[in-house]
């Protein structure tokens, strides 16, 4: 007698979506963990999931495409956390900035795999570096929108947004590397004092 498979009776589209999510989760474990780029391969992610390799190719053309999807999923998760933090913070610019910094550093450091994918490996891996550049552009526009509510000169807002976005990426990288200690609240206080002009509440 045959044993029912995991996807018996499950619609094809749902099966494919579940397998795609499983492959991304496997890449999160392998690449986001202690492994190197060389450890991430079609065979390694399929072995991690218990899949035949044909299931990889129904979702991804190659490992680079999987890496892009991994970054997108990790960045979207962080984006949701930051968005919720900003909503809870209310209208105060200082409170919103503090909440945003805490959300980024706290979420990325709570699981080192997130930080490696978003801030560490993204600096050296060409696939992730391209994704990171796109995300930086989006964050810069969000930061500009925040600044534009209080700056009469748009250039002032764009300069501040550019500085803030670049500084946040480097702040996250150094905090995750342990170069800034482990006192998150003090790091946030120092970042606020540096990034926000005096008098902004």
**Higher-confidence residue: 134 or 45?**
45
Judgement on whether residues 109 and 92 belong to the same structural domain of the protein? yes
pLDDT for res 11: 84
Residue 162, class by beta-carbon neighbours within 10 Å (0-12 exposed, 13-18 middle, 19+ buried)?
middle
pLDDT for res 3: 39
Judgement on whether residues 109 and 24 belong to the same structural domain of the protein? no
Residue 197 pLDDT > 80 = no
What is the average pLDDT value for the chain, to the nearest integer?
85
Q: Which alpha helices (H) appear in 111-125, and where do they start and end?
A: 112-115, 121-124
pLDDT for res 99: 92
* Digit-coded pLDDT (tens) for 153-189: 778 778 878 888 888 889 999 999 999 999 999 999 9
CATH number at residue 25: 1.10.10
Judgement on whether residues 33 and 127 belong to the same structural domain of the protein? no
- Whole-model pTM: value is 0.84
CATH number at residue 82: 1.10.357.10
Judgement on whether residues 20 and 97 belong to the same structural domain of the protein? no
Residue 80 pLDDT > 60 = yes
What is the total count of domains within the chain? 2
Judgement on whether residues 25 and 74 belong to the same structural domain of the protein? no
């Amino acid at each position: 007698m045959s044993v029912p498979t995991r996807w018996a009776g499950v619609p094809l589209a749902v099966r494919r979506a579940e397998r795609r999510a499983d492959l991304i989760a496997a890449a999160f474990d392998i690449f986001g963990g202690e492994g190197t780029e060389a450890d991430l391969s079609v065979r390694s992610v399929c072995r991690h999931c218990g899949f035949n390799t044909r299931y990889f190719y129904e979702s991804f053309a190659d490992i680079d495409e999987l890496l892009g999807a991994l970054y997108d999923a990790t960045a979207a998760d962080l984006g949701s956390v930051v968005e919720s933090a900003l909503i809870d913070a209310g209208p105060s610019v200082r409170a919103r900035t503090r909440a945003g910094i805490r959300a980024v550093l706290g979420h990325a450091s709570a699981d080192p795999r997130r930080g490696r994918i978003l801030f560490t490996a993204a600096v050296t891996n060409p696939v992730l570096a391209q994704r990171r550049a796109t995300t930086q552009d989006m964050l810069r526009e969000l930061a500009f929108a925040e600044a534009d509510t209080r700056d009469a000169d748009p250039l002032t807002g764009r300069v501040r947004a550019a500085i803030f976005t670049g500084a946040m990426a480097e702040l996250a990288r150094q905090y995750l590397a342990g170069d800034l200690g482990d006192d998150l609240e003090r790091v946030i206080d120092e970042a606020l004092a540096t990034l926000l002009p005096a008098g902004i509440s």
